[in-house]
Amino acid sequence: MQLTLEFGGGLELLCDSVKIHNINVDPQDGEKQLTMKNLLTWVRTNLIKERPEMFMKGDSVRPGVLVLVNDTDWELSGQLETVLEEKDNVVFISTLHGG
């Protein structure tokens, strides 16, 4: 399954300062669907190069990180249970406090 992942608000620093990643990831053995929970595991294993605690907490993202699936907050699509589809766009962005 082809997905576009984007990291912003400083999270890109955890993956070699690359903001946009075009990836190919398939459901695990025996699974028919790829959920956000699966994707987070994949991202942590394959993209996060340093300080994983700045990206995840438990099996979800850390506080202060917004997750957007096709420009919509994942709270509106089922959070970790959100089922991904071909060519979906997933954004991970850290909230900023500067001014």
Partner 1 sequence: DLGNSNGLSPDMIYRYSRHLLLPSFGVQGQANLLKSSVLVIGAGGLGSPALLYLAACGVGRIGIVDHDVVELNNLQRQIIHTEAYIGKSKVESAAAACRSINSSTQIVEHKEAFRTSNALEIVSKYDVVVDATDNAPSRYMINDCCVVLGKPLISGAALGLEGQLTVYNYNGGPCYRCLFPTPPPTNACQRCADSGVLGVVPGVIGCLQALEAIKVASLVGEPLSGRMLLLDALSGRIRIVKIRGRSLQCEACGEHPVLTRQTFPDFDYEIFTQTPLSTGPLKLTLL
- Write down the least CB distance from residue 48 to partner 1, Å: 14
Dist. CA 21–CA 30, nearest whole Å: 26
- Contact string 56-75 vs partner 1 (x = CB under 8 A): ------xxxxx-x--xxx-x
95 contacts partner 1 (rule: CB under 8 A): yes
Does residue 18 interact with partner 1 by CB under 8 A?
no
Q: From CA 92, how far away is CA 8, in angstroms rounded? A: 6
Q: Which is nearer to partner 1, 34 or 92 (CB)?
A: 92
- Return the ∠ at Cα 18 (arms to 68 and 62), rounded to 5°: 45
- Among residues 68, 65, 57, the alpha carbon closest in space to that of 91 is found at 68
Enumerate binding residues for partner 1 (CB under 8 A). 8-10, 17, 19, 53-54, 62-66, 68, 71-73, 75-76, 91, 93-99
